[in-house]
Amino acid sequence: MKRREFIFKSSGLVLSAWVAPSLSMAFQNKNKMDRIAMGTVLFRYRFKQTKPAELTTIKNELTLLDVPSFYRDRFGINKVEFWSTHFESLEQPYLDKLKGKLTGSRSKLINVQVDTAYNLASTNEDERLRSIDHVKKWMDAVAFLGSPCIRINPGNSGSVEKSIQSLKEVNKYAMSKKLVLLNENHFGIEMNPDVHLRIRQEAGPKNIYTLPDFGNYPHDTMYQSLEKIMPHAYLISAKADEFNANMEHVSYDFDRCVQMAEKHGFKGIYSVEQWNRNFQDIDYEKVGDWLIEHVKRNIKA
């Protein structure tokens, strides 16, 4: 995918910015909410697939079929990001229902995070090839649902060279489906930002972009690492981590992360979510409100 220069005039002043074509509308729109999406990871406690052991019952249970209208009515958000764990099936009847729910609520699926069992970096050739086929099936489903993007992990262990070899084929298939391929800093071989960028460059910078996640790097090196991958971002996972009893985010400077993205000229969508390995008995709707407010205060329309 080629970058294009969008030029617009305001009060006689000519400004320009480099943005990916599908993000141009976000650049031109004056409504900040159009640059905010919400992921289903935020409400994982309300999905039966990801209910923590600490909860005996689920209050206000959600399914993916519920999400588009819930996010629209509760948060005023019409851009959603799905986690693969929350899919009930990849069979066509289920996908038809899910697409209908998106269309009926006038919502847009902007990405799917695919965290199923695969390893594109495997040095076991049978496993690597099986992983490629597995990822392609997810691409078929995601393309059908109308998402412009899919997030695929480069590999959780194995060889960087094998990951690059796999992603070249995966990227070719993504382009045939008109999908942008995203690699996140997501606890695999790409957690080294230099390796992450090498994989992107050698596997296909034409259609592969980074998906910077605020919360995944070790906190003592997170800002330096984010600085490296941020210039190549297509979508950003605006993730919070731990909140205290006063609903104060205590893990890192979330606002600084958003400001960093803006400094690098990011004009696309921030998908808000929260994750902490430990159980937190807090109001996640309030967390959603906090995330939206803190993204809005730090971005330009």
Instruction: Determine the Cα–Cα distance for residues 21 and 191; give it in Å rounded to an integer.
Output: 27
Instruction: Identify the segments of the chain with pLDDT beneath 70.
Output: 1-29
Residue pLDDT, tens place only, 73-120: 999 999 999 999 999 999 999 999 999 999 999 999 999 999 999 999
The count of C-alpha atoms lying within 13 angstroms of the C-alpha of 104, restricted to the half-sphere facing its C-beta, is 12
Domain boundaries defined on the chain: 31-296
Instruction: Determine the Cα–Cα distance for residues 186 and 10; give it in Å rounded to an integer.
Output: 40
109 bridge partner residues: 80
**In the prediction, which pLDDT does 152 show?**
98
**In the prediction, which pLDDT does 301 show?**
77
**In the prediction, which pLDDT does 29 show?**
53
Q: CA angle, corner 232, sides to 249 and 299, nearest 5?
A: 45
CA 91 → CA 32, 85, 98, distances in Å?
36, 15, 11
Please state whether 158 falls in left (phi above 0), alpha (psi between -120 and 50) or beta. left
Just give the CATH number of 31-296: 3.20.20.150
Least Cα distance to 272 among 251, 260, 257, 250 occurs for: 257
Instruction: Determine the Cα–Cα distance for residues 119 and 130; give it in Å rounded to an integer.
Output: 9
Residue pLDDT, tens place only, 203-224: 988 999 999 999 999 999 999 9
**In the prediction, which pLDDT does 136 show?**
98
Least Cα distance to 95 among 49, 134, 137, 141 occurs for: 141
233 bridge partner residues: 210
Residues 6+ apart with CB under 8 A from 176: none
Cα first-last separation, the chain: 24
Residue pLDDT, tens place only, 188-201: 999 999 999 999 99
**In the prediction, which pLDDT does 142 show?**
98
